Amino acid sequence: MLKPELNRRLTQVGPGTPGGDLLRRYWWPIAPSVDVGPEPLERRLLGEDLVLFRTREGDVGLLERQCPHRSTSLGLGYVDQPRTPEAAGSPSGLRCGYHGWLFGTDGRCLEQPGESADSTFKDRIRAQSYRVQELGGLVFAYLGPEPAPLLPRYDLFVWDDVWRDIGHAELPCNFLQIMENSVDPHHVEWLHGRYDAFLRELSGAPASEVLTKKHLKVAFDVFEHGILKRRVLEGQTEDDEDWKVGHPLVFPSMLRIGGGGLNFFQIRVPIDDENTWHVWYQTYQPGGSVPPQETVPAYEVPLYDSRGKLLRDYVDGQDITAWVTQGRITPREREHLGSSDVGVIALRRLFAEQIDRVAAGEDPLCTYRDETTNQVITLPQEKEKFGGGDAFRREFLLHGQTRYSPILHDVLALFGDHDLVGRRAVEPV
């Protein structure tokens, strides 16, 4: 049970709110690199409306969405070369589709076709622009105060000899209840174990052996990257990697899991208080070298079946259904926490603490300002997950959201899971 004021404090993401001030101290993924081109994308991040585009020279720009002229969305725009003799030879920018004002990636207004050639009006106009960087097939944005911290080079973003793909979906709920799921190991055996077994029984399929194992013990340690989770499952001891190594919730917004050469992040990007862009960032590492990937493919994860019901016949659909049905911002004043919810409480406490740190003028957890510690940030994570890495990978590739990946069958072949290639991953709904 949480008092309503505290629930608001922990869930608000907009500018000028304590939570929003904390979240603005981090770099956020804003789109897969492959999706960013000359036609601008309208994006919303931390309650701010933005447009994202790539110039002809390959630079990515991120501007406020409303044109400084008369507020039409710059989403009604296009990447274009400057046309005045004065600007000839300058790099391309984003031209508003309404009256043709042209903006550079730095927000400077380069042209106003309706004004006379000798006008200096444009020099007084600037669209708000934000910092962007590309890493590992994602475009990251920073909306916070200067000096900006470094974009953390977490291992999965920078590893060589892996394939990658990126699934994503917009979920109609606040980011914090999604993060709470990442410190709630018990749900695995119930939601993905028993509930899933119930559904499979209805369709005549056998239950998963990987996900129904009982939890004997769980622990949560706050550490330099966030919260390290450990568990002992039935049949295991504290010498198993699930306990000895565990896996992290990376503060403030990522979960890192994996096993058997499939390692991934789930990244929860606050769109606004009531919506979250969820990114599933996979790396596939069979060992040894793999043929290079030209680009990192991206795909959308569907939420609903043909009758408008939230899909729940696979692991991530079950999670999504749990999160979304908790309500846009789950009413924590009416919850009943038990002793199995201590991880959730630990996470809320960590958020409250970090909000206070930022309010006191300090850098929050997971701020990187030193290049030497940001070459590759290696995160701890068990390899023999749930007592068997290969079984975990085989289960997750077909029964996780990767079932929607355009490269799923190539990935199965990459791992030598030839018996699964061609298997219909998406069950009829």
Residues that bind Fe ion (CB under 5 A): 319
Among 120, 306, 339, 375, binds another protein (CB under 8 A): 339
| Beta strand residue intervals within 246-323, DSSP E | 247-250, 254-259, 262-272, 275-284, 298-300
3 or 383, CB closer to another protein?
3
Q: How many CA atoms lie within 13 A of 58 on its CB side?
A: 1
| Beta strand residue intervals within 65-137, DSSP E | 77-80, 93-96, 102-103, 109-111, 131-135
Helix (H, G, I), strand (E, B) or coil at 26: coil
At 284, which amino acid appears?
A: Y
Helix (H, G, I), strand (E, B) or coil at 285: coil
Choose the contact partner of 56 out of another protein, Fe ion, none; CB within 5 to 8 A by kind. Answer: none
The H-or-E segment that residue 217 falls in is: strand 215-223
Closest approach, Cβ 198 to Fe ion, in A, equals 16
Q: Is 16 in the site for another protein (CB under 8 A)?
A: no
Q: Is 18 in the site for another protein (CB under 8 A)?
A: yes
Which residues, 133 to 172, sit near another protein by CB under 8 A? none
Among 135, 199, 219, 352, binds another protein (CB under 8 A): 352
Choose the contact partner of 356 out of Fe ion, another protein, none; CB within 5 to 8 A by kind. Answer: another protein
218 or 408, CB closer to another protein?
218
50 or 355, CB closer to another protein?
355
Measured CA to CA, the distance from residue 271 to residue 143 in angstroms comes to 13
273 or 319, CB closer to Fe ion?
319
Q: Is 338 in the site for another protein (CB under 8 A)?
A: yes
Closest approach, Cβ 74 to another protein, in A, equals 36
**Among candidates 143, 40, 135, 149, which has minimal Cα distance to 96?**
40
1 or 88, CB closer to another protein?
1
- Residues 189 and 214: beta-carbon distance below 8 Å: yes
- DSSP annotation of 357 reads H
Q: Is 219 in the site for another protein (CB under 8 A)?
A: no
Q: How many CA atoms lie within 13 A of 178 on its CB side?
A: 29
Closest approach, Cβ 327 to another protein, in A, equals 17
Among 39, 161, 221, 353, binds another protein (CB under 8 A): 353
Residue 429 token pair = 């709904």
At 106, which amino acid appears?
A: D
Measured CA to CA, the distance from residue 227 to residue 221 in angstroms comes to 5
Among 76, 205, 337, 429, binds another protein (CB under 8 A): 337
Tell me the number of residues near another protein by CB under 8 A: 24
Q: Is 2 in the site for another protein (CB under 8 A)?
A: yes
- Compute the C-alpha angle 243/394/305, nearest 5°: 110
Closest approach, Cβ 322 to Fe ion, in A, equals 7
Contact footprint for another protein (CB under 8 A): 1-6, 8-9, 18, 333-334, 336-339, 341-342, 345, 348-349, 352-353, 355-356
